[in-house]
A and B are shown apart, each in its own frame.
Chain A
Amino acid sequence: MTTEQDSSKTNESQNNPQGGYDLDSPEVSFGRRAFFGGILAVGGGLWALLVAGTPILSFLWPKKSEVVTVTEMTFEKNLKDFPIGESKNFMFGSIPALLIHDTNGKLSVFNAKCSHLGCTVGYQKDKDVIYCACHGGTYDPNTGKNIAGPPPAPLKPLVADVAADGTITIKIA
């Protein structure tokens, strides 16, 4: 069986009867030159990528944001001014939040970021659902469970405490 490799060996030994490689033969020196040239090009390219890429990527990489994480805040309205069926979108620190005085008379509060693609959801009183207008995601206003449309997960809950005087405090769950 003669493979390509075998025949090339035969050629080499014919070119150089003493055996070994004839370094002066143009094929060999071209092969070696191309080989080292290739290594130089690939190595040089990687080196350039590293040297140029490291500072550029580091320069562009977002720094750890100094987000002041809010753990608790007083809601702008008293429970007395926030009857059943009422809802309000507001900022809880840096995240959009949604407080609903739901039909059971309970206060439900959620992180208002839709679990589908991050739009801000809102309460639709007439249909009694939480709705995302971007792609039509629908959530249960009592539990935050995703009930229709594309959202893959429920809304993340927050906690609403009511003091004796009706002051509403929003806390992280």
Chain B
Amino acid sequence: MSIPTLKNLNIVQTVVDWLDERVPLKAAVEFAGHKEVPVHKHSIWYYMGGIAALFMGIQFATGFLLMFHYVPTFEGAYASVQAINMQVPFGWLIRSMHSWGANVFILVLFIHMFSTYFMKAYRAPREFTWLSGLGLVGIAMVFGFTGYMLPMDEIAYFATKVGVDVAGESPFIGPYLAEFVRGGSEIGQVTMNRFFSLHVIALPLAMMGLFGLHATLIQLQGISEPESIQKLPKAERKYEKFFPDFFKKDVFVWFAVFVAFMLVVTMKPWGLGPQVDPAAMAPIGIKPEWYFLSQFQALKLFPAKILFFDGVHVAMVFIGTVFGSLAVVPILDSTGKIPFISKFATVYGVIFFIGWLFLTIWGSL
């Protein structure tokens, strides 16, 4: 770097050059520019991952803020959330953003997951991108489960009871697992400590790590094109640079989604159910959050006994297999060269989606 004289001093350029010698800025921008986004009629689905990342950011930021007022004790949690909602200036806004944000985050993840599934973006060499994404959906659901215990209202208590007891029905290790998760034989302060430290330390770290892998793989391998576009002659396929071209549109979409989100957050602020009374019966009509409704409905449908087995065990095997298949079917179809399997994967996806939607709607009635 030549030493600038007063005459040719360009401060911005000097600072950039100085930084670039120490931090490879230009190389990073160039690396970001390597990724190209295909432009075609299905391109709208490419925004979903970015929107999900936006909501991940919203969750981290609002969660961090909530911790300044939330009290993670069995006795004090409810009152502290009530205070956040009623007394802390703009507490209602931050909490409403966090609770709504959790739901929208999971909704966007589902849309992102189903759209990449049907565009068959999981095919080689992107199997790990698919699996890491699936892992992120799983982590988001555990985030939801641990999170909605924290306010200690009625639904918090019974959802936790059911969730832990489901784990307790696992073969062999079930009772130990339930005892371990609960930290004892009943839900109490120890359970709360466990859920809280998972929710604010372990899960965020796991999510950031897995998201890092997911995003790096996409950057390295580029964005997948659906088969119908791959078949087109080269001249008819259009691309744009991710950075800065697509990124500018991404920012616009984030802005639009954020405005719509804030409209809902402020017009319908998230409430708080009645405080839990461990002696009282589960309230009539109690339901989990919408993203657990399909499992909830399935648990209701299985009878007490199926042949020699407890219905709840059969239900768990069923639910586990169905959700586990999302990791298996795409891998079977990873080459995309076997027409039968390719067709099967599509049909399976359609059946899965309709079944999931049907149980979710039924569960909500």
Q: Which residues of A are at the interface with B, using a C-beta cutoff of 8 A?
A: 60-62, 65, 67, 89-91, 94, 96, 98, 112, 116-122, 131-136, 146, 149-152
**Which of A116, A136, A151: most chain B Cβ within 10 A?**
A116
How many Å lie between the Cα of A98 and that of B279 in the bound state?
Answer: 9
- Asked whether, in the complex, the Cβ of A90 is within 8 Å of the Cβ of B279, the reply is yes
- Asked whether, in the complex, the Cβ of A117 is within 8 Å of the Cβ of B281, the reply is no
How many Å lie between the Cα of A2 and that of B71 in the bound state?
Answer: 73
B296 at the interface (CB under 8 A from A): yes
| Those 8 A-B pairs whose CB atoms lie nearest each other, nearest first | A122-B281, A118-B165, A117-B165, A133-B282, A119-B282, A65-B184, A152-B310, A135-B300
Task: Identify which of B180, B186, B303, B312 contacts A117 (C-beta below 8 A).
Answer: B312
Say whether, besides A62-B180, A117-B299, A152-B304, A133 and B312 are in contact (CB < 8 Å).
Answer: no
Q: Which of B183-206 contact A (CB under 8 A)?
A: 183-186, 190
- Considering only CB atoms, which chain B residue lies closest to A61 in the complex? B180
- Asked whether, in the complex, the Cβ of B302 is within 8 Å of the Cβ of A62, the reply is no
- Asked whether, in the complex, the Cβ of B300 is within 8 Å of the Cβ of A136, the reply is yes
- Considering only CB atoms, which chain B residue lies closest to A65 in the complex? B184
B274 at the interface (CB under 8 A from A): no
Which residues of the partner chain A approach B310 to less than 8 Å between Cβ atoms? 152
Task: Identify which of B279, B283, B299, B303 contacts A91 (C-beta below 8 A).
Answer: B279
Say whether, besides A62-B190, A116-B312, A135-B299, A122 and B282 are in contact (CB < 8 Å).
Answer: yes
- Asked whether, in the complex, the Cβ of B302 is within 8 Å of the Cβ of A150, the reply is yes
**B195: min CB distance to chain A, Å:** 13
- Considering only CB atoms, which chain A residue lies closest to B161 in the complex? A118
Interface string of B304-327 (1 = CB under 8 A from A): 110000111001000000000000
How many Å lie between the Cα of A121 and that of B184 in the bound state?
Answer: 21
How many Å lie between the Cα of A91 and that of B303 in the bound state?
Answer: 29
Number of B residues contacting the other chain (C-beta, 8 Å)?
Answer: 36
B182 at the interface (CB under 8 A from A): yes
Which residues of the partner chain B approach A120 to less than 8 Å between Cβ atoms? 158, 278-282
How many Å lie between the Cα of A134 and that of B285 in the bound state?
Answer: 8
Q: Can you list 12 A-B pairs with a CB-CB distance of less than 8 A?
A: A60-B180, A62-B180, A89-B279, A89-B281, A117-B162, A118-B161, A121-B281, A132-B281, A133-B285, A134-B158, A150-B312, A152-B311
- Asked whether, in the complex, the Cβ of A119 is within 8 Å of the Cβ of B280, the reply is no
Which residues of the partner chain B approach A98 to less than 8 Å between Cβ atoms? 281
Say whether, besides A61-B180, A90-B279, A150-B302, A67 and B162 are in contact (CB < 8 Å).
Answer: no
**B271: min CB distance to chain A, Å:** 20
Task: Identify which of B165, B179, B282, B305 contacts A152 (C-beta below 8 A).
Answer: B305
Task: Identify which of A89, A96, A121, A150 contacts B311 (C-beta below 8 A).
Answer: A150
B11 at the interface (CB under 8 A from A): no
Say whether, besides A117-B312, A134-B162, A96 and B304 are in contact (CB < 8 Å).
Answer: no
